[in-house]
Chain A
Amino acid sequence: METAIFYIAALVAALATLRVVTHVNASHALIYLVVSLLAVAVIFFLLGAPFAAALEVVVYAGAIVVLFLFVVMMLNLGRTSVDRERGWLRPGMWIGPAVLAAVLLVSFVFVFWGTDAKTSGEMVGPRAVGIALFGPYIIAVELAGFLLLAALVGAWHLGRRYLEERRGADDFPEEEGANAEEAAPEASAEGNA
């Protein structure tokens, strides 16, 4: 019974992922991505990793995909972008990458097929994960902290307004209010000079 659930979840994950890659509408593709991630979460649970399954749902399907959704909405990818997306995706373009991927998949499977090993079927709960994480892996946790901090600083920098101002405020008339205040001292300084 549970084994059947595993294969059903695997099928769902594969099909949903296929739709993520092929869909022309960004919002719909994101919904398919959520489906794919939930299916993988189910698989995690069946493999005896409930903590990973929970994180998959909370962080991946929750936080990261929502972040994507924000950007999609901010960039206002509407009907025109769907049409443009159709124009970009010509059928012939799929052939090369598909062949390449098929070769790789065959190679992958060929490597590990027939090992005749099964997963243990044991539950490895959050307690065991936490003990290992803050035991032997503590350095890696610290490094992950650094990585996230660097990403935070990087994202903040990339999102700063002056990067746009360098090109001139005229490009974004809808943000005029915020720009005008910051640009004013500069303009007067130039006038004096």
Chain B
Amino acid sequence: MPVAVPIEHVLALAGLLFLLGLIGVLVRRNVMFLLMSLEVMMNAAGLAFVAAGARWGAPDGQIMFMFILALAAAEVAVALGIVVQLARRFESLDVDNADEMYG
């Protein structure tokens, strides 16, 4: 029982979720929350793709969502490895500790 909703409403929701995630990335110092916010942002991008696919009744939007899913899985695997190392090295999850690579 799919419904026909105005496409701009779905896209507005996707934009809202994306920007909430962005706010999280910019504000949170804890690297765990930072990664969660990133997940939110990627999920929002996936929503936009699915919505676009649904606009034309085509499968391509879902396929792009699946690639985003694969990307998110890969990103989380590597990022959580880094988090573990970060926590062991600095004994803190503050991402600003890892600022040694400045110009």
Q: Which residues of A contact B (CB under 8 A)?
A: 2-3, 5-7, 10, 13-14, 17-18, 20-21, 26, 29-30, 33, 36-37, 40, 43-49, 51-52, 55-56, 59-60, 63-64, 67-68, 71-72, 74-75, 77, 81, 85, 88-89, 93-94, 96-98, 100-102, 104-105, 108-109, 112-124, 128-129, 131-133, 137, 140, 144, 147-148, 150-152, 154-155, 157-159, 163-164, 167, 171-172
Q: A154: which of B27, B39, B71, B78 is its contact (CB, 8 Å)?
A: B78
B77 and A151 within 8 A (CB): yes
**Minimum CB distance partner of A158 in chain B:** B81
Within 8 A of A (CB), among B46-65: 46-47, 50-51, 53-63, 65
Number of interface residues of B (CB under 8 A): 74
Q: Determine if B98 is an interface residue (Cβ-Cβ < 8 Å).
A: no
* A47 smallest CB distance to B (angstroms): 4
Cα separation A101 to B60 with both chains bound (whole Å): 29
Chain B residues within 8 Å of A51, by CB: 62
**Minimum CB distance partner of A85 in chain B:** B30
Known: A48-B2, A109-B12, A117-B7. A152 touches B65 (CB 8 A): no
Q: Which residues of B contact A (CB under 8 A)?
A: 1-13, 15-17, 19-24, 26-30, 32-33, 35-37, 39-40, 43, 46-47, 50-51, 53-63, 65-67, 69-78, 80-85, 87-89, 93-94
* B56 smallest CB distance to A (angstroms): 6
A60 and B69 within 8 A (CB): yes
Secondary structure dominating the interface of B: helix
Chain A residues within 8 Å of B43, by CB: 36-37, 40, 56, 60
Chain B residues within 8 Å of A37, by CB: 43
Known: A43-B10, A118-B4, A118-B7. A17 touches B17 (CB 8 A): yes
